[in-house]
Structure 1
C-alpha cells in the first residue's frame, strides 16, 4: 500500500514552524543566559562613548544638522551597537558549534536551509532589538531627547539587525576558528561601523571620501536611525531602506546557498 506521505514532502508541511521557532528560541535563550554581557554591557559601552565624546568634543563643537552634537551622536552609537551585537550573536553561535563539533545537531533536524537562515537571523534581530530598546530608553530618559519618527527608527533597527545577522552567518560559515572570526570582525565589520558617519556628518568629508561612504551599506543604517531620532539625515531614508533591504536579501541568499550545500560546515 502506498504511503500517504509523498516522498520528499515533510510530514509537518512546507514550513517547519515548530522547528523554526525552536531554533529561534534557542538562539534567544543562548544570549539571554548571559544578559549582563549581551544586553547590559552594550548599554555601558554606549554610555562610555557618549560620555567621552560629550566631554572631549561636545563643549567646543557647534550644532550638527541643527541639533547639539551629543544628540547628533546618539542615533549613530545606538545603531552601531545594535549591528555589532546582531553580528556577534549569529557569528558566535555558529563558530562555537563548529569548533565544538556539535554543528551537526543543528544541521541534522528537519530544517530547510531557509529555516536555518531565518532561525539564526531571528536570534540576532531579537538581541539587536533589545539592545536598541535599552539604549533608546536611556537616551530618551536621561537626555530628554524626543524621537522624531519612531516607526522609521524601529524599521531601520530591525533591518540593520537582520542585515548584520546574515553577515554574521556568512562570516561564521567561512571561519573555522575563533581567530578567523575575530579577523573578520576587526578588519571588516568594525571599519564599516566606524567609517559610516557614526561620529560625523558626511558633509564634512572630502568629496572622494563622501562618494566612497555611499558604497558602505552601514552608512544608510546609521543615517536612517538618525532620521528616525532627530528627523535629519544625509541621504533619503527611502533610498537607504531600499539599499539595506537589497543587501540583506542578497547576503541572505548566500547564507541559504551555503546551508544548502553544506559549504565549510559538513565534513
Structure 2
C-alpha cells in the first residue's frame, strides 16, 4: 500500500525557488508579450514629455537649481514612468485574474504568501526597469545628460518600482472592478506623481505645501533619482532612501497579510 503520510506537506525546503521563479517569469512574460503597449508606449510618452517641454521652454532657457529646465525634469519623468508601470503591472495582473476567475490557478500551487508577494513584485520591478534603462541609456544622453551616480540611480529606481508594485498589489487585491483601480490611479497615483517635484523644486511652493510634499514618498523617489543623475536634491538622499524603504516595507507586509488571509482573493 502506498505511503501517503507525506501528502500535504511542504517538500521544497524553506523557499520554493522553482515556483517563485515560475511566477516571476510569468509576470514578466505578461508585459513582454504585449511589449508595444507595456514597454514601447511608456518610452514614447516620456520622449513626448521631454520634446514638448523642450519646444515650449527651449533647450537653453530657464534654469532650476542651476540646471537647464529640460535637464531638471528628465529624472522626474524617468521616475514617474517607472512607478506608473510598476503599479500597473501588479494591479492589472491580480485584478484580471480575479475578474476572469482564474486567480485560483495562482493560489493553488505550493507557494507561500511571501513567495506570491515576491513573485508579483519581481514582475512589477522588472517592468519598471525595462522602461527605465532605455530612458537612462538613450534618451538622457540625447538631451546632454551624463548620469552622476548610476549605481545609486539603479537603487532608487528599483526601490521605487518595488514600492509601487506592492501598492499595485494592494489595489489589485482590494478592487473587484476595473473602475476601482482606475479611480486609485486617477485620484491617488497620478496626483502624487505630478505633485511630487517632477516639474518644479520644492522651494517654488508655499511652506504649507512643502510640509505636505515631504510626506509624499514619490517626492523622495524623484528627488533621489535627480540627485543620482544631476548631483543636486531638495532633501537629504539618505533620509529619502530610508523613508522610501520604510514605506515600501509597510506596503510589502500589508500585501503579505492580505494574501495570507486570502482577503478578497478567495470566494
Same fold per superposition (TM over 0.5): yes
Q: Secondary structure at the match of 2:63?
A: coil
Compared with structure 1, are the counterparts of its residues 59 and 153 closer, same or farther at alpha carbon in structure 2 (3 Å cutoff)? Answer: closer
Alignment match, 2:148: 148
Conserved in 2, the CA contact under 8 Å of 1:46 and 1:77?
yes
Alignment match, 2:54: 54
Alignment match, 1:246: 246
Conserved in 2, the CA contact under 8 Å of 1:74 and 1:139?
no
Gaps of 5+ in 1: none
TM-score (norm 2): 0.96
Gaps of 5+ in 2: none
Alignment match, 2:106: 106
CA distance in 2, matches of 1:101, 1:251: 25
Conserved in 2, the CA contact under 8 Å of 1:160 and 1:244?
yes
Conserved in 2, the CA contact under 8 Å of 1:71 and 1:145?
yes
What whole-Å deviation, never above 9, does each CA across 1:148-198 have from its counterpart, x for those lacking one?
Answer: 111110000000000000000000000001011101111111111010000
CA distance in 2, matches of 1:4, 1:98: 33
Tell me how far 1:217 sits from its aligned partner.
0.5
1:172 aligns with 2:145: no
Tell me how far 1:137 sits from its aligned partner.
1.7
Q: Map 1:1-267 onto structure 2 (within 5 A).
A: 10-58=10-58, 61-267=61-267
Conserved in 2, the CA contact under 8 Å of 1:5 and 1:11?
no
Tell me how far 1:64 sits from its aligned partner.
0.9
Q: Secondary structure at the match of 1:197?
A: coil
Compared with structure 1, are the counterparts of its residues 56 and 263 closer, same or farther at alpha carbon in structure 2 (3 Å cutoff)? Answer: same
Conserved in 1, the CA contact under 8 Å of 2:125 and 2:158?
yes
Compared with structure 1, are the counterparts of its residues 7 and 244 closer, same or farther at alpha carbon in structure 2 (3 Å cutoff)? Answer: farther
The aligned length equals 266
What whole-Å deviation, never above 9, does each CA across 1:201-252 have from its counterpart, x for those lacking one?
Answer: 0110000001110010100000001001101000011111100000011010
Tell me how far 1:140 sits from its aligned partner.
3.2
